[in-house]
């Protein structure tokens, strides 16, 4: 491939900045400038930075059409998450962006709202000509749909486990994590453990957390009580507050609650405060996600902490490997780490 | 402009889907399909949706190079904010995305970290050929730099007030908002009002909030006390917690605090809980931003609430007007609304 041709910067009649100018300013060869602009691997961070600074200072813009004709790479990775207002996804997006930046890529952020239509559009790539690869955190899409979409371009799925699909997908072990959260509560002497986040519709991480919850109770000889398993709408603070209101109104006694994400747990704690109940003295609370908010809430929230930085880095590594062709292994499952963070809300 | 040419979908040897196929599936003219694909205005939401569905179902992909050669529009708006992990920016980004979606545009999200270099890169558009316009929330850039950058492409600034710059910029009245927050505390009988968010370096909204704070105190005949004005690092929860630790350690008595954003306020409340102090009985707290977290914290947080949805809609409207050429007014300041939300942390 030859280098992109220089062109005048806009219609201002300014003299065109050439690749040669950029190379001279950065103190590197024209070939190196081209390598940086085309996001080729194996360029040192220092060199990349010097070239990018020269590009900025000289306001150099390669001819986009020529660039696209000659090189399908845009340097853009799409990240599609259900809802950026859920702190877990904001923190994950920030981690993905940091990881992408380290390898000179930009992140195009899409919100799907967990809407199957929008997820399908993200997965199929309505703006497919603009992105090199996709990181998708699906809520609603079925495995068959995902498999089909992922075949058309490098795709990494987050947060689900489709053991039967030949797609790169990264997830923590949600069953084990759910079980550990409940075992922790059992070890502190809590026996009547409610659950917020019931979700019969989607086959996702939430269903696996519930499986862990049921396994831990059963292993402890405790019969799970359907009255203590509550749905959670959109998994936001309001949904957690309402679910706790309902649990308290139901009149069935319980002494702890495992909420399937932290915003639900924080909403549930708000409801408990409104009812004059103390956490953990009257009721213990455990969440899931380890969002920063739960480290500063009163009380601080015990939670399952997925390794968000690790997940982001694995996803980018996987995509980069597919794009460069260096990664030739069959697409499949890549496990990510998690740990239980014990804080004040379950007794500290 | 003529319509983009169809091309085979990838290298699979599949028969190419043409514009004609899409038009037939959507039940509209070829011209209408072209209008939708090129993000032209004045297309009904229903028509847009039908065409996009047909595009998705038929997996139609216009020749990207031909499209770029013939039409500079990509349908992508870049949004550059300092930190997506700060909930204010996550909520703002979500509002921008909702507003963009309504007019058929995608948002490319950039994080600058408030780093002048990265802000300049975002403003100058390192990937300028991929975006139609820019919404930038600057922390560090100087007015001269912003003015220069904004001249090269439609740009809307958020959150600052550069009265002297001929750039479209949207902001609430931070001086008035700061004054109102402190006047509210004064009206509840608090007299020794500390402040978290001192920032001498950047000339931004934070400096204006401080101006409002000083004006309110002075108008009430209270001498501002430098010991009670604390810096706040990156405006995250940790910074608020540390600033409150320092205020308490300083030994100068105070009965209320105005934090210049909600995450600072929530961190400060965490510090107060750690010191066994009650909010608002021992100390009142007022924040700024009205992030969702403060509506569910214990206690609920009194805060200045900027109209985030209004800001997002104004920004998109402004960009769309510049892109279509319908908006011919000189670039300049567009005011956004705010209101004070009084909740438990200042006495309810």
- At A207-216, the pLDDT tens digits run 899 999 999 9
Phi/psi-derived region of residue B118, left when phi > 0, alpha when psi is between -120 and 50, beta in every other case: alpha
Partners of residue B76 in chain A, C-beta under 8 Å: 108, 127, 130
Residue ranges per domain, chain A? 19-70, 76-172+308-338, 174-306
CA-based R_g, chain B, Å: 24
Task: Decide if B292 and A152 are in contact by the 8 Å CB cutoff.
Answer: no
Contact A94, B84 (CB under 8 A): yes
Average pLDDT score over residue span A41-62: 79
pLDDT band at B70 (very low <50, low <70, confident <90, very high): very low
Among B76, B31, B26, residue whose Cα is nearest residue B46 = B26
Q: CA of B219 to nearest chain A CA: how many angstroms apart?
A: 35
Report the pLDDT value the prediction gives residue B254, as an integer from 0 to 100: 98
Q: Does A128 touch chain B (CB under 8 A)?
A: yes
The residue of A58, A77, A90, A112 whose CB has the most chain B CBs within 10 angstroms, and thus the best one to mutate to test that interface, is: A90
How far apart CA A294 and CA A301 sit, in angstroms, is 5
Angle formed by the axes of helices A45-58 and A30-37, to 10°? 90
Report the pLDDT value the prediction gives residue A6, as an integer from 0 to 100: 36
β-pairing verdict for B155-158 and B133-136 = parallel
Report the pLDDT value the prediction gives residue A62, as an integer from 0 to 100: 59
Homologous superfamily of B76-172+308-337 in CATH?
Response regulator (3.40.50.2300)
Average pLDDT score over residue span B230-255: 95
pLDDT band at B138 (very low <50, low <70, confident <90, very high): confident
Among B101, B94, B96, residue whose Cα is nearest residue B45 = B101
pLDDT over 50 (residue A340): yes
Average pLDDT score over residue span A76-84: 87
pLDDT over 50 (residue B66): no
Q: Does B116 touch chain A (CB under 8 A)?
A: no
- Calculate the CA B292 to chain-centre distance: 15
pLDDT over 60 (residue A217): yes
Report the pLDDT value the prediction gives residue B62, as an integer from 0 to 100: 59
A211-215, B158-162, B327-331: lowest mean pLDDT where? Answer: B158-162
Q: CA of A80 to nearest chain B CA: how many angstroms apart?
A: 12
**Residues 284..323 of A with a Cβ closer than 8 Å to B: which?**
292-293, 295-298
Q: CA of A170 to nearest chain B CA: how many angstroms apart?
A: 22
B222 or A127, greater pLDDT: B222
The CATH label, of 1.20.810.10, 3.40.109.10, 3.40.50.2300, 1.10.3720.10, for the domain at B174-306 is 3.40.50.2300
Report the pLDDT value the prediction gives residue B298, as an integer from 0 to 100: 96
How far apart CA A5 and CA A16 sit, in angstroms, is 10
How far apart CA B136 and CA B170 sit, in angstroms, is 10
Task: Decide if B236 and A292 are in contact by the 8 Å CB cutoff.
Answer: yes
How far apart CA A241 and CA A252 sit, in angstroms, is 17
How far apart CA A235 and CA B171 sit, in angstroms, is 31
Homologous superfamily of A76-172+308-338 in CATH?
Response regulator (3.40.50.2300)
Q: Round the average pLDDT of chain B to a whole number and report it.
A: 84
Kindly provide the ipTM of the predicted complex, given to two decimals. 0.77
Report the pLDDT value the prediction gives residue B128, as an integer from 0 to 100: 64
Report the pLDDT value the prediction gives residue A162, as an integer from 0 to 100: 61
How far apart CA B55 and CA A127 sit, in angstroms, is 11
> Which range has the top average pLDDT, A125-129, B1-5, B78-82, B274-278?
B274-278
Q: Does B55 touch chain A (CB under 8 A)?
A: yes
Task: Decide if A56 and B293 are in contact by the 8 Å CB cutoff.
Answer: no
Q: Round the average pLDDT of chain A to a whole number and report it.
A: 84
Task: Decide if A298 and B121 are in contact by the 8 Å CB cutoff.
Answer: no
Searching chain A, which residue's CA lies closest to the CA of residue B262?
Answer: A293
Contact A287, A264 (CB under 8 A): yes
B22-36, B219-233, B258-272: lowest mean pLDDT where? Answer: B22-36
Among B314, B128, B41, B90, residue whose Cα is nearest residue A111 = B90
Contact A65, A129 (CB under 8 A): no
- Bridge partners (DSSP) of residue A78 are A108, A134
Helices assigned H by DSSP within chain B: 19-26, 30-37, 45-58, 64-70, 87-102, 116-124, 143-150, 174-187, 205-219, 237-250, 262-274, 293-296, 308-324
pLDDT over 50 (residue A1): no
pLDDT band at B47 (very low <50, low <70, confident <90, very high): confident
Task: Decide if A56 and B121 are in contact by the 8 Å CB cutoff.
Answer: yes
Average pLDDT score over residue span B257-285: 98
Average pLDDT score over residue span B245-250: 97
A133-142, A221-230, A278-287, B116-125: lowest mean pLDDT where? Answer: B116-125
Contact A177, A336 (CB under 8 A): no
Contact A100, B109 (CB under 8 A): no
Among B246, B283, B233, B241, residue whose Cα is nearest residue B265 = B241
Report the pLDDT value the prediction gives residue A192, as an integer from 0 to 100: 98
Task: Decide if A129 and B61 are in contact by the 8 Å CB cutoff.
Answer: yes
Q: Does A85 touch chain B (CB under 8 A)?
A: yes
Q: State pLDDT tens for residues A309-326.
A: 999 999 999 999 998 888
Residues 6+ apart with CB under 8 A from B271: B240, B241, B242, B244, B245, B248
Q: CA of B325 to nearest chain A CA: how many angstroms apart?
A: 17
Contact B102, B77 (CB under 8 A): no
Average pLDDT score over residue span A328-334: 89
Report the pLDDT value the prediction gives residue B56, as an integer from 0 to 100: 78
Report the pLDDT value the prediction gives residue A7, as an integer from 0 to 100: 34
pLDDT over 60 (residue B268): yes
Cα–Cα–Cα angle for A302, A304, A309, rounded to 5 degrees:
120
> Which range has the top average pLDDT, A61-70, A120-129, B270-279?
B270-279
* Cα distances (Å, whole numbers) of residue B112 to A346, B76, B84, B122, B306: 37, 18, 9, 8, 22
CA torsion A188→A191→A192→A196, rounded to 10°? 50
The residue of A14, A65, A72 whose CB has the most chain B CBs within 10 angstroms, and thus the best one to mutate to test that interface, is: A65
Contact A145, A118 (CB under 8 A): no
Q: State pLDDT tens for residues A155-187.
A: 899 986 665 667 898 999 999 999 999 999 999
Domains A76-172+308-338 and A174-306 share a fold: yes
Q: State pLDDT tens for residues A238-291.
A: 999 999 999 999 999 999 999 999 999 999 999 999 999 999 999 999 999 999
pLDDT band at B151 (very low <50, low <70, confident <90, very high): low
The residue of B22, B59, B77, B84 whose CB has the most chain A CBs within 10 angstroms, and thus the best one to mutate to test that interface, is: B84
Q: Does B85 touch chain A (CB under 8 A)?
A: yes
Report the pLDDT value the prediction gives residue B221, as an integer from 0 to 100: 98
Report the pLDDT value the prediction gives residue B190, as an integer from 0 to 100: 97
pLDDT band at B204 (very low <50, low <70, confident <90, very high): confident
Report the pLDDT value the prediction gives residue A85, as an integer from 0 to 100: 87
pLDDT over 60 (residue A91): yes
Q: Which CATH architecture best describes the domain A19-70?
A: Orthogonal Bundle (1.10)
Task: Decide if A152 and B10 are in contact by the 8 Å CB cutoff.
Answer: yes
pLDDT band at B164 (very low <50, low <70, confident <90, very high): low
pLDDT band at B69 (very low <50, low <70, confident <90, very high): very low
> Which range has the top average pLDDT, A8-12, B59-63, B303-307?
B303-307
Report the pLDDT value the prediction gives residue B231, as an integer from 0 to 100: 93
Q: State pLDDT tens for residues B303-323.
A: 999 999 999 999 999 999 998
* Cα distances (Å, whole numbers) of residue B220 to B187, B192, B211, B216, B347: 10, 12, 14, 6, 20
Average pLDDT score over residue span A90-95: 93
Task: Decide if A56 and B241 are in contact by the 8 Å CB cutoff.
Answer: no
């Amino acid at each position: 491939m030859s280098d992109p041709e220089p062109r005048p910067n806009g219609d201002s009649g300014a003299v065109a900045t050439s690749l040669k100018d950029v190379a001279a300013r950065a103190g590197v060869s024209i070939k190196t400038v081209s390598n940086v602009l085309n996001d080729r691997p194996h360029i040192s961070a220092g060199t990349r930075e010097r070239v990018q600074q020269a590009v900025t200072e000289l306001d150099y813009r390669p001819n986009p059409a020529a660039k696209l004709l000659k090189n399908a790479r845009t340097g853009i990775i799409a990240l599609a998450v259900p809802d950026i207002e859920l702190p877990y996804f904001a923190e994950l997006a920030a981690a993905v962006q940091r990881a992408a930046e380290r390898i000179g890529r930009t992140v195009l952020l899409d919100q799907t709202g967990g809407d199957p239509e929008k997820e399908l559009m993200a997965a199929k790539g309505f703006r497919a000509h603009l992105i090199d690869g996709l990181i998708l955190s699906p809520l609603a899409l079925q495995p068959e749909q995902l498999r089909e979409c992922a075949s058309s371009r490098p795709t990494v799925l987050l947060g689900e486990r489709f053991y039967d699909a030949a797609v790169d997908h990264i997830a923590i072990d949600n069953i084990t994590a759910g079980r550990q959260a409940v075992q922790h509560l059992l070890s502190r002497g809590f026996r009547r453990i409610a659950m917020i986040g019931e979700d019969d519709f989607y086959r996702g991480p939430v269903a696996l957390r519930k499986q862990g919850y049921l396994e831990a109770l059963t292993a402890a000889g405790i019969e799970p009580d359907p009255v203590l398993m509550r749905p959670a709408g959109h998994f936001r603070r309001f949904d957690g507050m309402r679910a706790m209101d309902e649990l308290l109104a139901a009149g069935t006694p319980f002494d702890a609650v495992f909420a399937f994400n932290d915003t639900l747990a924080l909403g549930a704690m708000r409801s408990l405060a409104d009812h004059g109940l103390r956490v953990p003295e009257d009721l213990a609370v455990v969440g899931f996600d380890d969002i920063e908010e739960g480290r500063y809430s009163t009380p601080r929230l015990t939670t399952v902490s997925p390794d968000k930085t690790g997940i982001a880095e694995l996803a980018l590594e996987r995509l980069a490997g597919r794009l460069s062709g260096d990664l030739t292994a069959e697409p499949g499952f890549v496990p990510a780490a998690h740990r239980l963070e014990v804080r004040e809300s379950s007794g500290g």
